[in-house]
Amino acid sequence: MKKPRTSVTKCMTLRFLYTSSLTGLLTECFPSFLWHTALNMRAF
């Protein structure tokens, strides 16, 4: 049995969007998190 191609494409697109948004969040939040950690370390 063949699966319909549209569902596979939709799943791949959703997964791609999810991973890209996740990496975007990481790249935006991670440096600020490191910056705050460094500031807190310097405060002590």
Tokens encoding 19: 């991973």
Residue extents of the structural domains in the chain? 9-42
How many Å is the Cα radius of gyration of the chain?
19
pLDDT of residue 33: 87
Write the single-letter amino acid at 14: L
Amino acid at 32: S
pTM attached to this predicted model: 0.49
Q: What separation in angstroms does the CA of 29 have from each of 3, 41, 42? A: 39, 18, 20
Q: Is 2 helix (H, G, I), strand (E, B) or coil?
A: coil
pLDDT band at 6 (very low <50, low <70, confident <90, very high): confident
Task: State the DSSP H helix or E strand holding residue 30, giving kind and residue range, or none if neither.
Answer: helix 5-43
